[in-house]
Chain A
Amino acid sequence: MNNLAKLQLTKSGELRHFLTPEGLDRIMLERILDTADSFVVVGNQEVKKVPLLRGRTVVNLFFENSTRTRSTFELAAQRLSADVLTLDIKTSAASKGESLLDTLQNLRAMHSDMFVVRHSDSGAAHFIAEQVTPDVAIINAGDGRHAHPTQAMLDMLTIRRHKGSFEPLSVAIVGDILHSRVARDQIHALKTLGCTDIRLVAPHTLMPYAIESMGVTTHSSMDSGINNVDVVIMLRLQTERMASAFLPSAGEYFRLYGLTKERLSQAKPDAIVMHPGPINRGIEIESAVADGPQSMILNQVGYGIALRMAVMSMAMSGQMQQRQTEAKQASSPTGELHI
């Protein structure tokens, strides 16, 4: 087992933390998608609750603001019947000088079963799972510019539900790759699921160094980037990128990299358009595309809840199993015979 798999899986190979799709195999990613598929059905029922996490405590730890991700995690936990506590850490302990370590250890002492963590530092969720509270299931809800695995996997769910198999697909990811925590996880997931043509489209200022080492091609022009693709994933452009000299202006960005109807016509006729939201109309995408027939943007939101329910239920079950195994090992020293 590679190190990232070791950290995220129990000894018997069940998910116990979900930090990044990197290191997980195709079978595990497909299991996540299959489980999410079953929860999509739950979302369509009149009574949307299932009792899988009844009696369990889920703590949403948002060290960085995110209304959308936070509310879908809350909703997902509630639909699984968990007790949910949401902490906006920016306005609480951290501002009083309490370290991340102390905050987490306090919450663990309250017998929390799962932390959903969003943090501005890359590797934060990894650090918590590895060094702080390995016995609490950790779901990464976004760390720095490293990973945002539930977003990436809900994108995979969207692609699979609308395109079927990943193998024959060409996928373009367009925009601020440099600062995107989603893009990296999308690449890992797409590759593991069998996609071989992944194209990144961005000006050099927004393209990370040596990203080709992840098995993608890079394009500085939209025309070559989205030509004949099956899927176009647009990334959100933070407006502060202009002030920090990554780009000259929103207008120039839209002219060169904005997704218009005309540009989209270079992709396959049945290509789908995705965006993690919230969208900037007229900056990275024009309304005619965002609201058009090829847009999957609102479908993604619905799938997001199902995908998060899937990951939360799987990690909770894996973590409980791990705890039981460890408790058993602790109570039966080797060599002692139990009859």
Chain B
Amino acid sequence: MSMIIRGARLIDPSKQLDQVSDMHVQGGRIKSIGHLAEQSSDLEIDATGLILSPSFLDLHTCLRDLNQIQKGTIASETQAAASAGFTHLCPSPDTQPCSDSGSVISLIKSKAAAAGFCELLPVAALTQDLKGSQLSNMEALAQAGCIGFSNAGYDIDNNTVLLRCYEYAATFGLKVLVQAQDRQLGDGHMHAGATATRMGLDGILVIAETLSISRHLQFMQHTGVSGHFNQLTSAAGVDLIRQAKAQGMDVTADVGIAHLCFTDTAIEGYQSQYHVQPPLREGSDRKALLIGIEDGTLDAICSAHQPHESAAKCAPFAATATGMAMYDMLVPLIQKLVHTGDLTWPAAIRALSCNSTKIAVGTSTSLTIGEAANLTLIDPSHEWTLDASSQLSRGTNQALAQQKLKGRVQLTLKDGLVTYKR
């Protein structure tokens, strides 16, 4: 089957491309780009006013399968991801059971393949059962298709064990991913600041993040491991990454879309939909994160998608589960940042696609003739309401439920096949 997408704004920051053009897709690949008025194909799409970019890769997501299907299944959540423009996802290793064995990795990968929406490039557990005491079978897990190793939201308290983790990863040139938060200092429910104090909620200080970043940076520097930090939240955290990069370290970082859009004041009135870990911080932190994306200190934007059933969020704040179901809201949130002048579409696409793909697999997908047609077509002006009939994630923890939103994916292609069409 062939397809011509006509009149879209093609954006590919990896090639400094930003122009209105047509694209011809055939046999799963990009066949031609340019003025293609003379050509015809099986399917013609009028994409006037729409944005066509390389498809997105998510560096941090939770799909809930295998044992938490009340929250989401691989089929439901990968479909929701496709509707947000993703073709590749890196699920976090804190699955149930935990992603510390080749069989779990193979199972989740094959479930996603059967559903047909996204390819999984899992992050495996750095230690067995994420317990922080024994190394996981890293080499075998890499063979099974993992792109890196992380201990998810669990600290490795013992520095000797952590050193061995890094040394072993260095042996095989494997990447270590870090969700930077000191476990003891991070034992709270929201950012430690005026809002937490007034609401009487236990606060999490910024140094919970910076201490952990500094600690891991030292191990990365000592062992030469290529490191990646997931979900930075603070201005001070961004500064640490900036310094490490300036020193020439092989380190990258991402930020969750929630942290780019919301601050701790959203929790006012005990709004459990904004109960996330790591916590939403202050306006000055949010600003520093946006600057980090703009100047490239922060390489990527991840979804940090964490779907929940409604009961998980229906309790006194501290007792509610953390996380937001993000796939249904992601593109409207990006569009909102573009609208307010906080972000540009090229910067967003660089962070959601070019850089994230490079971090996960080493090379970027790009809008290049002959490349696999992994594409996302976005209608930035489409207006819609997020409700039960329009959402695809099984998660009911949609912070923007019932709100009028602007911006939506029109079409997602993976290797030329349509994985989502509105």
Contacts and interface: CB of A to CB of B under 8 A. Distances in A.
A184 B316 contact: no
A123 B197 contact: no
A68 to B, nearest CB: 20
Given A121-B316, A126-B270, A144-B318, A99 B196 contact: no
Interface stretch (A79-87, A204-212, A289-297, A312-320): A204-212
B200 to A, nearest CB: 3
Contact of A123 (B192, B193, B199, B311): B199
B194 interface: yes
B190 to A, nearest CB: 10
Contact of B315 (A3, A4, A101, A184): A101
A211 B192 CA distance: 11
Residue among A3, A99, A144 having the largest count of chain B Cβ atoms under 10 Å:
A144
B203 A122 contact: no
Contacts of A214: 194, 197-198
Contacts of B194: 209-211, 213-214
A119 B318 CA distance: 12
Interface string A91-107: 00000000111000000
A153 interface: no
Interface in B136-187: none
B197 A121 contact: no
A127 B317 contact: yes
Interface in B251-274: 268-270
Given A3-B269, A126-B269, A126-B270, A209 B316 contact: no
Best-surrounded residue of B196, B197, B200 (most CB of chain A within 10 A): B200
B201 A122 contact: yes
A176 B205 CA distance: 19
B94 to A, nearest CB: 24
B270 A101 contact: no
Nearest to B272: A127
Contacts of A213: 194, 197-198
Contacts of B268: 3
A58 to B, nearest CB: 21
Interface string A124-143: 10110011000000000001
B319 interface: yes
Interface string B302-319: 000000000100111111
Given A99-B311, A99-B315, A101-B315, A122 B200 contact: yes
A192 to B, nearest CB: 14
Given A143-B200, A214-B197, A122 B317 contact: yes
Contacts of B318: 121-123, 144
Contacts of A131: 314
Interface in B303-337: 311, 314-319
A236 interface: no
B120 to A, nearest CB: 33
Given A3-B269, A101-B311, A127 B316 contact: yes
Interface string B195-223: 01111110101000000000000000000
A324 B194 CA distance: 39
Contacts of A144: 200-201, 316, 318
B209 to A, nearest CB: 15
Contacts of A119: 316
B311 A209 contact: no
Contacts of B316: 100, 119, 121-124, 127, 143-144
Contact of A210 (B193, B269, B270, B314): B193
B101 to A, nearest CB: 31
B198 A123 contact: no
Contacts of A181: 200
Given A184-B198, A213-B197, A123 B270 contact: yes
A249 B287 CA distance: 42
A146 interface: yes
A143 B199 CA distance: 10
Contacts of B270: 122-123, 126-127
A108 interface: no
Interface in A122-181: 122-124, 126-127, 130-131, 143-147, 181
A209 B314 contact: no
B117 to A, nearest CB: 34
Interface in A1-32: 3-4, 22
A120 B95 CA distance: 30
Contacts of B192: 209-210
Interface string B385-399: 000000000000000
Nearest to A132: B314
A28 B317 CA distance: 28
Interface of B: 192-194, 196-201, 203, 205, 268-270, 311, 314-319
17 contacts: A101-B315, A121-B317, A122-B270, A122-B317, A122-B318, A123-B200, A123-B318, A145-B200, A146-B199, A181-B200, A184-B200, A208-B197, A208-B203, A209-B192, A209-B197, A214-B194, A214-B198
Interface of A: 3-4, 22, 99-101, 119, 121-124, 126-127, 130-131, 143-147, 181, 184, 208-211, 213-214
Given A126-B270, A127-B315, A210-B192, 5 more contacts: A100-B315, A122-B270, A209-B203, A211-B194, A213-B197
